[in-house]
């Protein structure tokens, strides 16, 4: 199933560009994550342009020593050109994310833990390129992505946050099956 995922993702030129540029620039312990991964798959399954409905591309990395890596982040922004990309060091998210969650959180221990705590299983997928090879991390598998199922992951985010995202995605991809929070 990972090869099927890669085949679909690598048809999205923005994803390919981000992966190539991120590998070259070398941020520590990074993945391309977020909505762009399942959305590219859903677009392919629905016969839509591969970048339909994708607002941005989220690149996360984990550097517990430096809160920001401005040189590498700036280089990556420049390298991807007009591709809308958000770059976040997840090692320091615990310092600002709680104001959106309305509860405290412990610092993440790894980049993989970050992906395990996403709001829905379908977006708990990351891809990176190391030494010319693609690496996929999907702690909940890929079935929900390919079956177009939005299933809540209650690890960190609130019901309200999940509902807002799920409603937005359902409006953009009507074939999605949204599982209730309860």
pLDDT at 104: 64
- The residues, ordered by sequence, that sit 6+ positions from 181 with a Cβ below 8 Å of its Cβ are 152, 154, 159, 162, 163
The DSSP code for 108 is P
CA quadruple 24, 28, 29, 35: dihedral, nearest 10: -70
- What pLDDT does residue 102 have? 54
pTM of the model: 0.91
pLDDT at 105: 58
Q: Which has the closest alpha carbon to 57: 38, 76, 81, 85?
A: 85
Q: Would you state the pLDDT for residue 118?
A: 80
The b/e string for 67-105 (b: 16+ C-beta within 10 A; e otherwise) is eebeebbebbeebbeebebebbbbbbbeeebeeeeeeee
Return the pLDDT at 103: 56
Note the pLDDT of residue 97: 56
Q: Are 152 and 162 in contact (CB under 8 A)?
A: yes
- What the chain holds in terms of domains, given with CATH numbers, is 2-178 (3.30.460.10)
Q: What's the confidence (pLDDT) of residue 113?
A: 84
Residue 182, SS3 per DSSP: coil
Mean pLDDT for back-to-back runs of 10 residues, the chain (182 residues): 97 98 94 96 98 96 80 93 92 60 66 83 96 97 98 83 93 97 86
> How far is it, in rounded angstroms, from Cα 74 to Cα 70?
6
């Amino acid at each position: 199933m990972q090869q099927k995922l890669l085949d679909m993702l690598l048809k999205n030129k923005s994803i390919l560009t981000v992966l190539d540029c991120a590998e070259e620039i070398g941020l520590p312990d990074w993945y391309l994550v977020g909505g762009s991964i399942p959305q590219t798959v859903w677009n392919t399954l629905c016969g839509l342009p591969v970048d339909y409905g994708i607002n941005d591309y989220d690149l996360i990395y984990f550097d517990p020593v430096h809160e920001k890596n401005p040189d590498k982040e700036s280089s990556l922004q420049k390298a991807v050109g007009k591709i809308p990309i958000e770059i976040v060091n997840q090692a320091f998210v615990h310092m600002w994310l709680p104001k959106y969650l309305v509860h405290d959180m412990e610092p993440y221990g790894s980049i993989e833990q970050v992906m395990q705590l996403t709001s829905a299983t379908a977006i708990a997928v990351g891809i990176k390129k190391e030494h010319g090879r693609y690496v996929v991390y999907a702690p909940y598998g890929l079935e929900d992505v390919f079956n177009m199922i939005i299933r809540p992951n209650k690890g960190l985010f609130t019901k309200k946050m999940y509902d807002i995202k799920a409603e937005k995605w359902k409006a953009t991809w009507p074939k999605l099956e949204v599982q209730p929070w309860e």
